[in-house]
């Protein structure tokens, strides 16, 4: 699943950057939905101000163990602190934004 390793970086605003890590379990429909949903949320609400890494539990088992991942999909907001975690396919945008303490309206430069 290395093809699904994604990174979108905003070099202009590293102090405002949101760092996310999404753990998935292989090429399942639920994994695909979670990836598509978080990419849409990031592009709509964090455009150019985020880093998203998608990690497959099967390929990155040591990293998943160190991050204490028990279920997939799991989304971790690593930065800004405090760290936040969500589980599931991330289909309810409003709940995802609120749980991650992200802006509800699209980001404007």
Structural domain that includes position 83:
2-99
Q: What is the CATH number of the domain that holds 28?
A: 3.40.30.10
Residue 33 included in any domain:
yes
Q: Which long-range contacts link 84-88 to residues 24+ away (Cβ below 8 Å)?
A: 88/34
What's the average model confidence in pLDDT over 70-95? 93
Q: Domain for residue 107, yes or no?
A: no
- The burial class, CB within 10 Å (0-12 / 13-18 / 19+), for 101 is exposed
Q: State the pLDDT confidence band at 102, using cuts at 50, 70 and 90.
A: confident
What mean pLDDT do residues 97-102 have? 86
Tens-digit pLDDT profile for residues 13-41: 345 799 999 999 999 999 999 999 999 99
Total number of domains constituting the chain: 1
Whether 68 maps to a domain, the answer reads yes
The whole model's pTM is what?
0.79
Residue 30: inside a domain, yes or no?
yes
Rounded to an integer, the average pLDDT of 48-77 is 94
Residue 109 covered by a domain:
no
- With respect to residue 105, please indicate whether it lies within any of the assigned structural domains: no
């Amino acid at each position: 699943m290395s093809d699904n390793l994604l990174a979108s970086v905003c070099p202009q605003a590293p102090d405002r950057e949101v760092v996310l890590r999404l753990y998935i379990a292989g090429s399942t429909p639920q994994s695909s939905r979670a990836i598509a949903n978080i990419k849409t949320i990031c592009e709509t609400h964090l455009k150019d101000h985020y880093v998203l890494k998608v990690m497959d539990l099967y390929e990155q088992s040591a990293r998943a163990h160190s991050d204490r991942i028990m279920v997939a999909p799991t989304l971790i907001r690593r930065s800004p602190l405090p760290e936040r975690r969500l589980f599931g396919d991330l289909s309810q945008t409003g709940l995802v934004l609120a749980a991650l303490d992200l802006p509800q309206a699209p980001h404007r430069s």
